[in-house]
């Protein structure tokens, strides 16, 4: 099993969700996050006053999938979340050692 953690633009969440649904990935966790990568934020000016927007609002989407479909999921996320501009985000793939269903206590393989 793999944990696929992606940081995407806030307005791309719905498209990513739709893409994952097509792959029959049902469960996911979505979190509002702030951060920056290469896109370091910018200086905005409002009524003569400058303020720095260093941490940009992003969405983090986490899904756990079987090893066999991990590559397809990553491709789907990248396709759905891409605009081609700086600030499109990142996808991380992490190994998952064990997973349990809390309701039944059953271990998933």
Residues making contact with another protein (CB under 8 A): 9-12, 14, 32-34, 44-49, 53, 57, 83, 85, 87
Nearer to another protein, 14 or 67 (CB): 14
Could you tell me the smallest distance in angstroms from the CB atom of residue 46 to another protein?
5
3-state secondary structure of 102: coil
Nearer to another protein, 18 or 32 (CB): 32
Could you tell me the smallest distance in angstroms from the CB atom of residue 53 to another protein?
7
Nearest to 63 by CA among 107, 25, 7, 12: 25
What is the CA 73 to chain-centroid distance, rounded?
A: 11
Nearer to another protein, 10 or 37 (CB): 10
First-to-last alpha carbon distance for the chain, in angstroms, is 8
Q: What is the DSSP string of 83-94?
A: -SSTT-EEEEEE
């Amino acid at each position: 099993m793999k944990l696929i953690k992606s940081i995407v633009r806030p307005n791309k969440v719905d498209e990513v969700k739709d893409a994952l649904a097509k792959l029959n990935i049902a469960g996911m966790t979505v979190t509002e996050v702030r951060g920056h990568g290469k896109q370091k934020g910018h200086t905005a000016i409002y009524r003569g006053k400058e303020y720095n927007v260093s941490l940009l609002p992003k969405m983090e989407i986490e899904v756990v999938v079987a090893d066999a479909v991990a590559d397809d999921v990553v491709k789907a996320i990248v396709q759905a979340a891409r605009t081609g501009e700086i600030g499109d985000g990142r996808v991380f793939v992490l190994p998952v050692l064990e997973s349990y269903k809390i309701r039944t206590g059953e271990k998933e393989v």
